[in-house]
Amino acid sequence: MKKSLSLLMVVLGITTGFSQEDNRPINTGDDFSLEGALALFKKANSLEEFEKLLNEENNHVNNLDLNNDNDIDYIVVEDIKEGDSHVILLSTYLNEKEKQDIATIGIEKTGVSQAALQIEGDKDLYPENTIVEPIDEKESIKSSKGGPNIPEIDIQIVSVNVWLWPSVRFLYAPNYVVWVSPYRWRNYPRWWKPWRPISHPVFYAHCAPHRVYYRPVTTRRVVVARKTYSSRRHSSTLVVHNRRGTTVIHKNKRGNVKAVKVRRTPVRGRR
């Protein structure tokens, strides 16, 4: 009887283990909402305010814990300016020396009162060329194929001119001084209290409202800003845990990054 009961408990344990859902994101960067970041950027009046909004728990934008200390990572904001283009860099410190970029917001002035904007996730955390931009819908009436008296509404997705966003006007103000966050590893603002990461499905549900007005695109419209940023990118030596498997990011002396699939997490002595 005892043997039968023990065998039953083992079988139930195995069954339960296989039936549990994997709550990790497909890509590590999926625990940071690019759409949500743009929503907060539109709302902010300055880059200092934008950084504060990114690091507030109730805004449901950040669920990253890249250094696995069971605390949400603090996101620092930095502006890289080149002529009429800006790259707003979002990154986090993993320890005293390691820094990892999360995403960049590229902004380019395209006319007297026009500007284009896109956010791109870093390739260490997202699939390459993961780009999101604000969108709008334009409705027009066209003749129906069913007859002259049955009009059809044609809906087109169009790009948004972000020139009137308070954050964009802040960047292009005559007296603007390039912003670089004053915070570093273990040197955070007094108001910030890190919170525990939540499961990805719950986080993804919280981000749903942001995905209405900001969507992934395949066309890169902000080009100059990308060139400005490429030589200043931060890539950390870190271990990324996601449903695609464990990926160890190795950085050599030249700064080149190589992602290697491994079976075991501990990897030492390789840079």
Q: What is the pLDDT of residues 44-102, one digit of tens each?
A: 999 999 999 999 999 999 999 998 899 999 999 999 999 999 999 999 999 998 899 99
**Residue 251: inside a domain:** no
The string of pLDDT tens digits covering residues 96-131 is 988 999 999 999 999 999 999 999 999 999 998 999
The residue behind tokens 């819908």 is: 137
**Residue 268: inside a domain:** no
Q: What's the burial of 171, exposed, middle or buried (CB within 10 Å: 0-12/13-18/19+)?
A: buried
Phi, psi of 260 (to 5 degrees): -125, 125
The string of pLDDT tens digits covering residues 222-233 is 887 777 888 889
What would the mean pLDDT of 237-265 be, rounded to a whole number?
A: 53
Q: How many domains does the chain have?
A: 1
Range of the domain at 158: 24-232
Q: Can you tell me the distance from the alpha carbon of 205 to that of 146, in angstroms, rounded to the nearest whole number?
A: 40
Residue 9 has pLDDT above 60, yes or no: no
**pTM of the shown model:** 0.78
**Residue 238: inside a domain:** no
pLDDT classification of 236: cutoffs 50, 70, 90: confident
**Residue closest to 251 by CA, chosen among 121, 99, 102, 120:** 99
**Residue 120: inside a domain:** yes
**Residue 182: inside a domain:** yes
**Residue 5: inside a domain:** no
Residue 187 has pLDDT above 90, yes or no: yes
pLDDT classification of 199: cutoffs 50, 70, 90: very high
**Residue closest to 238 by CA, chosen among 218, 258, 221, 216:** 258
**Residue 263: inside a domain:** no
Q: Which two tokens stand for residue 125?
A: 């955390």
Residue 8: predicted pLDDT: 44
More confident of the two residues 189 and 144? 189
